Amino acid sequence: MLHFWAPHLDPAHPEDCTQPERYAIQVVSSGAYLAIADNGNALVEVASWCDAHLFHAHDAAVRAARELNNEGRGPVDVVKVELDVPKTPKHS
């Protein structure tokens, strides 16, 4: 089972994880990126990294890519993407 989410990296709470880099999984043969299907039970290929599932941590992306490759669903690779994450002031 793939684990694409971790509570300590919740995108709903960006002030807890504001690093501007993210990681996507790219299908080597097609150049497409992987996203989670609307039903949440499958992976789909998308043309742009903007539509792909983005990982906050490199280790999590590498772990998922290795799992996909080991299951014969690759070859896939991890690519780094840079986001412009605005800094939000901390509220007291």
Query: CA nearest 65: which of 73, 82, 41?
Result: 73
Q: What pLDDT score does 56 carry? A: 85
Whether 49 and 79 have beta carbons less than 8 Å apart is answered as yes
The token pair that represents 8 in the structure block: 């300590």
The 10s digit of each residue's pLDDT in 32-88 is 999 999 998 999 999 999 999 999 888 999 999 999 999 998 899 999 987 775 655
pTM higher than 0.85: no
C-alpha Rg value of the chain to the nearest Å: 14
- What is the SS3 assignment for 71? coil
User: Which residues of 1-92 form beta strands (DSSP E)?
Assistant: 21-27, 33-36, 43-46, 76-82
Strand-pair partners of 34:
45
The 10s digit of each residue's pLDDT in 7-38 is 445 555 555 555 568 999 999 999 999 999 99
